[in-house]
Amino acid sequence: MQLLDEKAIRSELPKRMSPYVREKIPAVRVPEYLAQQWVIDKELKRDVWMRKLKTHDRAFEDRVWSMFARLGFPSLNADRTLSLPYGANANETKQIDVLAVDDEVLLVVECKSSASDRAPVMTFKTEIEAIQGYRARMIGDLRKRFPDRKVKFVLAINNIAVRRESQDRMEAASIALLDEEAVDYYHELAGHLGPAAKFQLLGNLFAGTQIEAMESAVPAIRGKMGGHTYYSFAIEPERLLKLAYVLHRNNANTRWMPTYQRIIKRARLKKVAAFVEAGGFFPNSLIVNLNNGGRKVRFDSAGQKMGAVDLGVLHLPRKYRSAYIIDGQHRLYGFATSKRAQSELVPVVAFVDLPGEKQLELFMQINENQQSVPKNLQNTLNADLLWGSDDARKRSHALKLKVAQLLGEQKTSPLRGRVILGEEQSSDRRCISLDAIQRGVDRGRYIGEFNASSVKTLGSFYRTSNDDTVGPLVSFLELALDFLRDGLEAQWNLGRADGGFVFTNAGTEAVVRLCGDIVDHCNASGVTDSRNAAPEVVFVHVRPYLSYLVNYLSGLASDDVTEFRGWFGSGAPTKYLRKFQAAIAAEDASFEPEGLAEWLVDQKKQFNSESLTMVHDIEAFLKIEVRRVLEDNYGAEWYKKGVPKLVFEEASTLAAKKNWDQDLDSQVEWWDCLHVVDYQKIMRNGGMKTWNELFDSRFTLPSDAKASSWKDKSEWVTRFNEIRNTAFHGNAVSEEDYAFLLGLHASFPNA
């Protein structure tokens, strides 16, 4: 077995990091290589250096190898031809892509890569079964060569999506999974921390397993703070670095790698490192939480109490990933590349198995006093640290945020790259917040409602616990969003500035809520049971309804798109939702989500308020102007000469009835008691001659100027009266009638 030592690794690393394969050949072979897409890199006297871009699989394999090299593994395989035996027979060997060995661990890595434009979903069933078949015998042979090492099998993947159920099978088979983002993360971490970054990787791969040959005892004091026991001690950074981890997922979700990196700021780290090297020190304590699985840590009391504190010796957990750094990451990692990490002491205040929400509270309090914690990062932290809360309401909140987070992170999710995670900045296409998706999950009734200790109402996808629910719910939403992405490709490719409105905060929240409505409808119809059926089965029944939505959105006119894009603020998602619901209900009358019927009625009345205002204005205009015309032409006897007798008598009778019970100050005139149609009767009183002389110029609408009959010129009063009665009786004014009122109102400037 050929392994490279540290010196050889340093020499090999530039080749592995390069995107090119380089080869020196005789000059006569240049045409042959050029025909195979090689290019000339450098010409020598007799030979020529040629280069060619590495294939995607080789480039990824080299990047994984380089990651282990930069993390400080002192032994790595020399090339791609390494084969390890797992049996006595000569053919019982397995080619290994990367073998990384140090004094404590040995990592057997298999690399898989895809060149597809869209990451394919793979189960790796064959690979998992193969590893399970040869692992025990291979480990036996490896331990003969490398005794006392912990062995871990790792599957490194590039541009490949793996669903949760496949990840579960890997975890059950004790196979670690690293994707290209995790590889990039550790490359960056190595650039910041050097070999100390290795402990972050080992913490994830071997979480909770023993660190050999490490002194765990530290002199400490034990006391109480805020109702919690704490230990105060000083320790060499080198020792603490082996135990420490920073802002990764909580223990329930260690399979997901971090996509945010508040922990490490390159500029700040350099300043801290320079400060340390110059002899600087930090008098303020690091704040850590020791994960000890609910067990008491060993504390050997010296039998000396000083007030409320004990003096003694604390035995730290000798386990990878057992000390979460709540505050002081940069102070600790500033020692990572310093020789002073072995001799300097840093002060620490340590809590043990502090509840997640308490860790979050401490983090928020500390950081809010120094630098505001962005809401999106708060949501990311809540999803992690509240996952195992004793309060069912907090657990459900964490579940909703975790669903949002995974929809933004997972390669299987269409929203990957569109959701703002951690401290990422928004952009034209990455514009969907965790809050928006979380609200969609909440208002879509997928999870349900909870008291502090129990369930009030079961949601459509809730399956007894967060761990049981998150996978099926995320898978279902991925299927739904994937269907919409494919069906609305033009919208999908647009950013906010280009006219995109569906895959934005308001649109995405509405879509997630709508899917919840459809699931509830399918459950109520008895066609599926979303709490027990597979996500794929549930989606089969949901898909036809989403087809109606795709057809509706695909056929929107530009004015309709402008209307959607003009909705902002907290009410916008509900407006989107109602439009989406109405589009589906128009195709299937049985789809009746709560509140839609009332909204449709309200939509029909959307013109009523303004219509009533215009009706009042026009009635007031008629009351004043018709009387003025009569008085100007007939003088004192205007009502006898200009008003039909029956109109006068009916109005007078109505006035008498109204005045009977009224005070003198509240009395009305008969003229105040005319109906709208009475004005038309007055205009027509005396026939065409009276109309032409008194009313035509003032009361003929521009649109009726060429009407063939003089009576037609006053027919608008009939329609106005009908609209007036519709509005006053609380019925919906149509858009057409509203447009008529607008024109009528504009025709009488004094109205």
pLDDT, one tens digit per residue, over 610-633 is: 999 999 999 999 999 999 999 999
Of 275, 214, 284, nearest in space to 242 by CA: 214
Give the model's pLDDT for residue 246.
73
Whether the per-residue pLDDT at 280 is higher than 70: the answer is: yes
What is the phi/psi pair of residue 113, to 5°?
Answer: -140, 150
Place of tokens 């390890």: 84
Of 543, 604, 555, nearest in space to 578 by CA: 604
Q: How confident is the model at residue 368 (pLDDT cuts 50, 70, 90)?
A: low
Whether the per-residue pLDDT at 347 is higher than 70: the answer is: yes
pLDDT, one tens digit per residue, over 549-574 is: 999 999 999 988 998 998 988 899 99
pLDDT, one tens digit per residue, over 629-684 is: 999 999 999 999 999 999 999 999 999 999 998 888 889 999 999 999 999 999 99
Of 397, 380, 379, nearest in space to 448 by CA: 397
Side chain identity, residue 512? V
SS3 403: helix
Q: Give Dmax over CA atoms of the chain in angstroms.
A: 128
CA distance readout (Å), 386 to 162, 382, 399: 25, 5, 9
* Spatial contact of 94 and 82, defined as CB atoms under 8 Å apart: no
Q: Identify the burial level of 382 via C-beta atoms within 10 angstroms of its C-beta, where 0-12 means exposed, 13-18 middle and 19 or more buried.
A: buried
Q: How far apart are CA 483 and CA 146, in angstroms?
A: 51
SS (HEC) of 118-146: CCCECCCHHHHHHHHHHHHHHHHHHHHHC
Q: How far apart are CA 413 and CA 478, in angstroms?
A: 5
Give the model's pLDDT for residue 501.
94
Give the model's pLDDT for residue 197.
82
DSSP letter string, 443-481: HTTSSEEE-SSSEEEE-TT--SSHHHHHHHHHHHHHHHH
Q: What is the dihedral of CA 649, 652, 658, 659, to 10 degrees?
A: -140
**CA geometry: angle at 234 spanning 228 and 236, to 5°?**
130
Of 289, 459, 265, 509, nearest in space to 384 by CA: 289
Mean pLDDT of 245-264: 42
Give the model's pLDDT for residue 256.
35
Whether the per-residue pLDDT at 47 is higher than 90: the answer is: yes
The residues with which 311 forms a beta bridge, in sequence order, are: 221, 304
Of 670, 652, 705, 710, nearest in space to 686 by CA: 710
Q: How far apart are CA 442 and CA 447, in angstroms?
A: 7
Mean pLDDT of 690-709: 92
pLDDT, one tens digit per residue, over 138-189 is: 999 999 999 989 999 999 999 999 988 898 899 999 999 999 988 998 898 8
CA distance readout (Å), 396 to 381, 458, 511: 14, 11, 21
Q: How confident is the model at residue 263 (pLDDT cuts 50, 70, 90)?
A: very low
**CA geometry: angle at 453 spanning 449 and 458, to 5°?**
30
Q: How far apart are CA 415 and CA 429, in angstroms?
A: 10
Question: Please, what sign has the CA dihedral across residues 512, 518, 522, 523?
Answer: positive
Whether the per-residue pLDDT at 109 is higher than 50: the answer is: yes
Q: How confident is the model at residue 751 (pLDDT cuts 50, 70, 90)?
A: low
Mean pLDDT of 239-267: 53
SS3 40: strand
Domains assigned to the chain? 3-19+54-205 (3.40.1350.10), 210-354 (no CATH), 373-604 (no CATH), 608-747 (no CATH)
Check residues 344 and 219 and name the one with the higher pLDDT: 219
Give the model's pLDDT for residue 265.
56
Give the model's pLDDT for residue 249.
37
Average pLDDT, the chain: 89
Helical ranges in 529-660 per DSSP H? 535-554, 558-565, 572-587, 596-604, 608-634, 638-642, 645-660
Q: How confident is the model at residue 261 (pLDDT cuts 50, 70, 90)?
A: very low
Whether the per-residue pLDDT at 264 is higher than 60: the answer is: no
Q: What is the dihedral of CA 117, 118, 121, 122, to 10 degrees?
A: 10
Q: How far apart are CA 559 and CA 486, in angstroms?
A: 24
* Spatial contact of 95 and 83, defined as CB atoms under 8 Å apart: yes
Q: How far apart are CA 60 and CA 690, in angstroms?
A: 95
| Structure token digits, residue 750 | 């004094």
pLDDT, one tens digit per residue, over 227-238 is: 899 999 999 988
% of the chain exceeding 70 in pLDDT = 95
Give the model's pLDDT for residue 678.
96
* Spatial contact of 630 and 638, defined as CB atoms under 8 Å apart: yes
Give the model's pLDDT for residue 662.
85
pLDDT, one tens digit per residue, over 91-101 is: 889 999 999 99
Q: How confident is the model at residue 252 (pLDDT cuts 50, 70, 90)?
A: very low
Whether the per-residue pLDDT at 260 is higher than 70: the answer is: no
Mean pLDDT of 326-338: 79
CA distance readout (Å), 289 to 7, 323, 365, 663: 38, 6, 16, 81
Give the model's pLDDT for residue 251.
31
Task: List Cβ neighbours of 386 (8 Å cut-off, separation of 6 or more).
Answer: 356, 357, 360, 394, 395, 397, 398
* Spatial contact of 468 and 539, defined as CB atoms under 8 Å apart: no
Strand extents, DSSP E, 275-319:
286-290, 298-306, 309-315
What is the phi/psi pair of residue 151, to 5°?
Answer: -110, 135
Whether the per-residue pLDDT at 466 is higher than 50: the answer is: yes
Q: How confident is the model at residue 223 (pLDDT cuts 50, 70, 90)?
A: very high
Mean pLDDT of 496-521: 95
Q: How far apart are CA 419 and CA 403, in angstroms?
A: 12
Q: How far apart are CA 173 and CA 161, in angstroms?
A: 19
Q: What is the DSSP letter of 592?
A: -
Place of tokens 């447009």: 739
| Structure token digits, residue 514 | 């709508």
* Spatial contact of 3 and 99, defined as CB atoms under 8 Å apart: yes
**CA geometry: angle at 444 spanning 440 and 447, to 5°?**
100
Give the model's pLDDT for residue 513.
98
Give the model's pLDDT for residue 248.
40
Distance of CA 375 to the CA centre of its chain: 12
Mean pLDDT of 695-724: 93
Q: How far apart are CA 348 and CA 290, in angstroms?
A: 11
User: 383's torsion region: left (phi>0), alpha (psi -120 to 50) or beta?
Assistant: alpha
Whether the per-residue pLDDT at 262 is higher than 50: the answer is: no
Give the model's pLDDT for residue 266.
59
* 661-670 contacts at long range (C-beta below 8 A, 24 or more positions apart): none
Q: What share of the chain is helix, strand, coil (3-state, %, to 5)?
A: 50, 15, 30
Strand extents, DSSP E, 159-247:
175-179, 217-225, 228-235, 244-245
Give the model's pLDDT for residue 426.
86
Give the model's pLDDT for residue 374.
67
Give the model's pLDDT for residue 330.
78
Give the model's pLDDT for residue 191.
82
| Structure token digits, residue 571 | 């009410």
Q: How far apart are CA 200 and CA 332, in angstroms?
A: 13
CB atoms within 10 A of CB 217: 12
Whether the per-residue pLDDT at 357 is higher than 60: the answer is: yes
Give, to the nearest 10 degrees, the angle between helix 180-193 and helix 266-277. 30
The residues with which 50 forms a beta bridge, in sequence order, are: 23, 40
DSSP letter string, 221-239: EEEEETTEEEEEEEE-HHH
Whether the per-residue pLDDT at 734 is higher than 90: the answer is: no
Give the model's pLDDT for residue 423.
67
